Amino acid sequence: MMPDAETLSAMCEEEKEMKIGFVGLGIMGKPMCKNLIKAGYSVICFSRSRPAMDEAAKAGAAAAGSISELAPQCRIIITMLPDSPDVRQVALGEGGIRDNAAPGTLLVDMSSIAPLASREIHDALAAKNIRMLDAPVSGGEPKAVNGTLSVMVGGDVKDLEEARPILDVLADSVTHVGPIGAGNIAKLANQAIVAVNIAVLAEALTLAKKAGADPERVFQAIRGGLAASAVMDAKAPMMLSHNTQPGFTLDLHIKDLANVQEAGHSLAAPMPLVALVMEMMQSLKTGGHGSADHSVLSRFYEELAGCRL
C-alpha cells in the first residue's frame, strides 16, 4: 500500500533532517554541495581546501575537521575526489570512512576513478558492513551548478533507491548501469567519446579557418545536422572565444584517459583514437595548459596549422 501524501511529505522532511557528508569541494564538488544545501538537506563537509570549506560553510554547511569527525555523523557520505588514490585514502586510510562510519552507512562515490578501484574499495568497506555505490557524473561545472548532471551508477539497486532523492537534486538523469564498478565503466566510455569529439571539433574548425570560412558560421551551419552534439554546443563557443576557464580541466581529462587506457589494455580492447588524443593532451600539458579547460585542444591544432580561430 502506497503511503498517502501527508506521510510522503513527512518522510521527505525526515530524510532532509539526516546529515549528508560531502567530501571534496573542487570545481564539481562545491556547486553540488551547495545544491544539496539549497534543497534543504543538512550537509557536513570536508575538503583539503580551506577557502572551499569556508565558502560551503557560508552557504549553510557544517564544516568537519577530518573524515573521522564527519563519518560517524552521516548515514550517507558523498565523495567527489580527483582519482582512485584519493578515494581509497578517504575510504580506507587511517582515520577514514571504514574505521569511523557506523555499520549500514552508504558511501556514494561520485568521483571518476578506475572501475577495479571501485570494486576493491567496495569489498573492503563491505567487510565492515558499509555499503557503496560508484556514481560518477558527466556534464562539467555548468551542469554541476545547475543541478542537471548525468549520473551513471554501479551497485545494489536498493542502495540506489535510498540515495535517489539526493541524486535527483544534483542531476537530470540517474541511470543504474550494473554492479559495483559499472558506473565508472560507463564514465570511461563517456570520457573517451568526449575527448575524441573535442579533438575532431577543433580539427574541423581549424580546417574551416584555413579554408577562409568563418568558423562561427560553420559551427552554426552544422550544429543542426548529424554532427550536432552536446560537446559541440558546449565547447565550440569556448574555442571560438579562446575561453579556457575550466568547466573540466585538461589535467582531469588526462587522468580519465589514463584510466580508459588501463582498462583497454587489461581487457585487450584497443583504443587507438584515445591514445592519439591522449598524446595531444600530454603535449598541451607540457606546454603549461593542464589547468585550462579541455577545449584547449583547439590550441594544439592552431599551433599545427599556424592560425588562430
Closest C-alpha to 146, from 164, 165, 173: 173
**One-letter-per-residue 3-state SS of 235-257:** HHHHHHHCCCCCCCEHHHHHHHH
Would you state the cell numbers that stand for residue 207, as one nine-digit string?
580546417
Judge contact between 197 and 231, C-beta under 8 A.
Answer: yes
16: left (phi over 0), alpha (psi -120 to 50) or beta: alpha
Q: Confirm whether 187 is a catalytic residue.
A: yes
Read off the C-alpha cell for 66: 577530518
CA distance 237 to 215: 10
Calculate the alpha carbon distances from 110 to 58, 68, 87, 171, 232 in Å: 23, 20, 10, 12, 25
What is the DSSP annotation of 136-197?
Answer: -EESHHHHHHHT-EEEEEES-HHHHHHHHHHHHHHEEEEEEEESTTHHHHHHHHHHHHHHHH
Determine the Cα–Cα distance for residues 307 and 299; give it in Å rounded to an integer. 9
- How many residues are given for the chain? 309
Compute how many other C-beta atoms are within 10 angstroms of the C-beta atom of residue 10.
Answer: 12
Choose, from 30, 34, 143, 187, the residue flagged as catalytic. Answer: 187
**Which residues are identified as catalytic?**
187
